């Protein structure tokens, strides 16, 4: 039985039409009789699987749950659903994206092994996890994946003043009405603000940025990306208005200026000076303040009522079959006398007369004509049937369109009711999960309080951490809800449920969409209950700090400026170096790569460009201490090379790469900070 607990891998390489390589990983998770609990051994097998997905550009997961044939069909169907959900929930807790996962509960209907004996039954008590993985097919895709977690999203109301604090300490002060559509009109709906911070060397490299302005070297204090939308339309800073941006720094440099990023033809960024200076600011973090009391996060969840399941008086009518237009029968063609020629063979041709030959030809022609007359009679009968069929078709076709419209409307009405119920039930399940998970979640609040201490400026930064920890706890809650597969089958019929294309056209909500809705409802409900309290607390503390007017030794230094343009924003100063000989760096590299010269003594990242089959830098001062950093792909896998050197120490470099996972690449780049 070793095979029942061992980790099963099948790797099948394939090529897509777009030349993107894929592989298929398959793992089976086995269960005890009448159980959906994951055993420690199966948990260990899943723990082996998850880190491997970091090596790939993307993935999709299909979860297929099975049972043996003991018990009723309905009970086994529900048991397989619980098993699928157990695997799904565990994978989500380990960091698998729920949007990339789809679950199918098959019950006892598709056994892979014979249920006649105990061994076959044990093998059928399983969940198959089928993972299609996609290798990186471009360097751009690799870098995009490496920085996907850098994107932060905030929601603000256009009529309210708002200050947001990003994950790494950047703050953006947004005055009411300062973001508008390009035509100058002000949005009335919630604004989605997206932000990226590139404050460290690693972030700047992985974001594929640099510190160059029109060929001159810059020394950076940090970079931030801002974008805003409302109703799916881009916003910009209102003419005459500004946003205030503050970037944290541990080392204050004088002469820092504001730069805006403009994309070059080769898709690299060039920093255009805005002729605006950054000022320096110290944000108070006063030790005299009491530690933050997170009891304000202890909330009372207003439970939503259990929605009534939709019921339908009759079964869904069967799908209509479009009438087929009858084919016009082909009229038989009469035989032509000239084609009937008799040519006797030797020696008969020596004795037969012309009259006899003609007699034979006439006889054959008469027989053919008789057969033709019979065929023509049959044709006339077919023609009469065709004309009747054509009348029937015209009559059926005239009513098919309205009947089909009526059937489609009935189907859509039922799907709308099912989707509405699923949305209402997702809200119900969200409140139930949230209420059940809160007592356990409250136990980790002291850890959050300890991490924050008296730093009230970190409250907004903790928002994402709070949400993630809360979702983790709610996903642990065991919730036996509605069997949506059975409900949909009863409402729509098996014929419709088997037509996946039809369901997609009419947008029946699937299990993945439902699970996403539940998580979204949890986040939305928590935000509605707590975010106002977070804002209120932050405002009260800000007022108290102003009244105290004291700054502690733990004060945080910041660069502050006002910006009137969204996109990439840079806090930099031009780097002045003594007059010296300058030389270019040449790297013997033929593969497409992202290569930088990272300065050791100043915070500067200088791009090295592909030119004539090699990579060449701009001319740099001799003796400048740098690290050469290069990232490329080999057979879809990341490759990294890092070399310590000085400008001018050698003419041409040939880099030695090593293969690594995406996570390993990020860790080695971060080590350069």
Confidence of residue 294 (pLDDT cuts 50, 70, 90): low
The pLDDT score that the predictor gives to residue 13 is: 29
The pLDDT score that the predictor gives to residue 454 is: 52
Closest CA relative to residue 299, chosen from 470, 529, 630, 141: 529
Residue 14 has pLDDT above 80, yes or no: no
Residue 528 has pLDDT above 80, yes or no: no
The pLDDT score that the predictor gives to residue 265 is: 77
Least confidently predicted of 310-319, 459-468, 629-638: 459-468
Confidence of residue 331 (pLDDT cuts 50, 70, 90): very high
Residue 615 has pLDDT above 90, yes or no: yes
Residue 539 has pLDDT above 90, yes or no: no
390: Cα within 13 Å, side-chain hemisphere: 9
Residue 540 has pLDDT above 70, yes or no: no
Average pLDDT of the segment spanning 63-73: 92
Residue 17 has pLDDT above 50, yes or no: no
Q: Using CA atoms, how far apart are residues 335 and 112, in angstroms rounded to an integer?
A: 64
Least confidently predicted of 12-21, 111-120, 188-197: 12-21
The pLDDT score that the predictor gives to residue 630 is: 93
Report residue 513 as tokens: 């969409």
What lies within 8 Å, CB to CB, of 77 at 6+ separation is 105, 107, 108, 483, 485, 486
pLDDT, one tens digit per residue, over 92-140 is 888 787 667 888 889 998 899 999 999 999 999 999 999 888 788 888 8
Least confidently predicted of 52-61, 226-235, 375-384: 52-61
Average pLDDT of the segment spanning 338-350: 87
Residue 293 has pLDDT above 70, yes or no: no
Radius of gyration of the chain from Cα atoms?
Answer: 37
The pLDDT score that the predictor gives to residue 260 is: 96
Least confidently predicted of 101-110, 218-227, 524-533: 524-533
The pTM for the full model equals 0.56
Average pLDDT of the segment spanning 454-476: 65
Average pLDDT of the segment spanning 275-301: 67
Residue 150 has pLDDT above 50, yes or no: yes
Report residue 642 as tokens: 């890092």
Report residue 136 as tokens: 């990186």
Asked whether 42 and 87 are in contact (CB, 8 A), the reply is no
DSSP 8-state secondary structure symbol assigned to residue 477: S
Residue 5 has pLDDT above 70, yes or no: no
Average pLDDT, the chain: 83
Average pLDDT of the segment spanning 588-608: 91
Confidence of residue 282 (pLDDT cuts 50, 70, 90): low
Average pLDDT of the segment spanning 631-659: 90
The pLDDT score that the predictor gives to residue 556 is: 55
The pLDDT score that the predictor gives to residue 19 is: 36
The pLDDT score that the predictor gives to residue 474 is: 82
What percentage of the chain carries pLDDT values higher than 90?
A: 43
The pLDDT score that the predictor gives to residue 21 is: 64
The pLDDT score that the predictor gives to residue 57 is: 66
Average pLDDT of the segment spanning 338-356: 88
Residue 10 has pLDDT above 50, yes or no: no
Confidence of residue 453 (pLDDT cuts 50, 70, 90): low
Cα→Cα distances 426→198, 306, 418, 478, Å: 37, 10, 12, 15
* 287: β partners: none
Residue entry with tokens 């069929």: 389
- 400 by DSSP, 3-state: which? helix
Average pLDDT of the segment spanning 226-246: 92
Average pLDDT of the segment spanning 155-174: 85
Average pLDDT of the segment spanning 376-400: 93
* 269: β partners: 263
Closest CA relative to residue 369, chosen from 392, 331, 404, 337: 337
User: Could you please report the per-residue DSSP string of 268-328?
Assistant: -EEEEEEEEEPEEEEE---TTSPPP-GGGG-----PPPPPPPP--SSPPPPPP-PPPPPPP
Cα→Cα distances 411→175, 404, 424, 499, Å: 48, 10, 20, 13
pLDDT, one tens digit per residue, over 497-509 is 888 889 888 989 8
Residue 90 has pLDDT above 70, yes or no: yes
What percentage of the chain carries pLDDT values higher than 70?
A: 86
- 33 by DSSP, 3-state: which? coil
DSSP 8-state secondary structure symbol assigned to residue 350: G
Q: Is 549 left (phi over 0), alpha (psi -120 to 50) or beta?
A: left
Residue 147 has pLDDT above 50, yes or no: yes
Closest CA relative to residue 310, chosen from 109, 85, 509, 519: 509
């Amino acid at each position: 039985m070793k095979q029942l607990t061992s980790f099963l891998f099948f790797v099948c390489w394939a090529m897509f039409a777009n030349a993107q390589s894929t592989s298929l990983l398959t793992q089976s998770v086995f269960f005890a009789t009448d159980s959906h609990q994951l055993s420690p051994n199966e948990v260990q097998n899943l723990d082996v699987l998850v880190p491997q997905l970091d090596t790939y550009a993307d993935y999709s997961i299909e979860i297929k749950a099975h049972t043996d044939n003991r018990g009723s069909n309905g009970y086994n169907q529900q048991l397989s659903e619980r098993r699928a959900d157990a695997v799904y929930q565990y994978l989500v807790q380990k960091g698998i994206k729920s949007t990339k996962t789809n679950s199918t509960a098959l019950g006892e209907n598709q056994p892979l092994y014979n249920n006649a004996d105990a061994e076959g039954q044990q093998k059928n008590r399983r969940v198959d996890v089928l993972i299609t993985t996609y290798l990186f097919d471009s360097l751009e895709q690799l870098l995009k994946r490496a920085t996907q977690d850098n994107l932060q999203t905030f929601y603000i109301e256009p009529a309210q003043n708002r200050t947001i604090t990003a994950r790494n300490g950047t703050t953006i002060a947004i005055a009411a009405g300062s973001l508008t559509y390009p035509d100058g009109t002000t949005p009335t709906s919630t604004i989605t603000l997206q932000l990226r911070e590139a404050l460290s060397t690693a972030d700047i490299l992985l974001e594929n940025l640099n510190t160059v302005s029109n060929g001159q070297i810059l020394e950076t204090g940090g970079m931030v990306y801002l974008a805003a939308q409302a109703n799916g339309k881009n916003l910009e800073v209102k003419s005459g208005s500004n946003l205030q941006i503050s970037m944290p720094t541990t080392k204050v440099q004088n002469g820092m200026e504001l730069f805006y990023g403009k994309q070059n033809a080769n898709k690299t960024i060039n920093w255009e000076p805005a002729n605006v200076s950054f000022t320096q600011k110290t944000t108070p973090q006063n030790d005299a303040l009491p530690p933050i009391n997170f009891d304000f996060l202890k909330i009372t969840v207003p439970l939503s009522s259990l929605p009534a399941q939709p019921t339908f008086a009759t079964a869904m009518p069967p799908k209509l079959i479009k009438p087929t237009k009858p084919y016009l029968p082909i009229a038989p063609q009469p035989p032509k006398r000239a084609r009937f020629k008799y040519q006797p063979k030797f020696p008969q041709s020596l004795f037969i007369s012309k009259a006899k030959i003609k007699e034979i030809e006439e006889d054959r022609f008469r027989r053919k004509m008789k057969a033709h007359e019979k065929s023509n009679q049959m044709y006339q009968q077919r023609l009469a049937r065709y004309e009747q069929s054509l009348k029937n078709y015209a009559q059926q076709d005239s009513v098919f369109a309205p009947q089909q419209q009526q059937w489609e409307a009935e189907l859509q009405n039922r799907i709308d009711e099912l989707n509405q119920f699923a949305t209402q039930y997702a809200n119900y399940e969200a409140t139930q999960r949230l209420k059940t998970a809160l007592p356990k979640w409250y136990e980790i609040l002291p850890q959050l309080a300890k991490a924050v201490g008296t730093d009230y400026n970190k409250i907004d930064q903790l928002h994402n951490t709070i949400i993630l920890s809360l979702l983790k706890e709610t996903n642990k809650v065991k919730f036996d809800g509605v069997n949506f597969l059975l409900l949909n089958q009863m409402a729509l019929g098996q014929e419709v449920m088997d037509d996946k294309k039809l369901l997609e056209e009419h947008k029946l909500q699937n299990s993945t969409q439902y699970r996403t809705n539940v998580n979204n409802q949890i986040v939305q409900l928590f935000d509605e209950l707590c975010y106002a309290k977070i804002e209120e607390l932050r405002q009260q503390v800000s007022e108290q700090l102003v009244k105290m007017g004291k700054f502690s030794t733990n004060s945080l230094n910041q660069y502050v400026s006002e910006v009137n343009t969204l996109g990439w924003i840079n806090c930099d100063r031009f780097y002045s170096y003594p007059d010296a000989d300058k030389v270019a760096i040449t790297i013997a590299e033929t593969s497409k790569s992202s290569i930088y010269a990272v300065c050791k003594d100043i915070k500067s990242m200088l791009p090295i460009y592909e030119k004539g089959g090699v990579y060449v830098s701009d001319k740099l001062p001799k003796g400048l201490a740098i690290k050469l950093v290069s990232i490329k792909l080999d057979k879809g896998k990341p490759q990294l090379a890092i070399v310590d050197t000085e400008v001018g120490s050698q003419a041409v470099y040939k880099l030695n790469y090593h293969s690594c996972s995406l996570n390993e690449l990020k860790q080695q780049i971060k080590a350069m900070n």
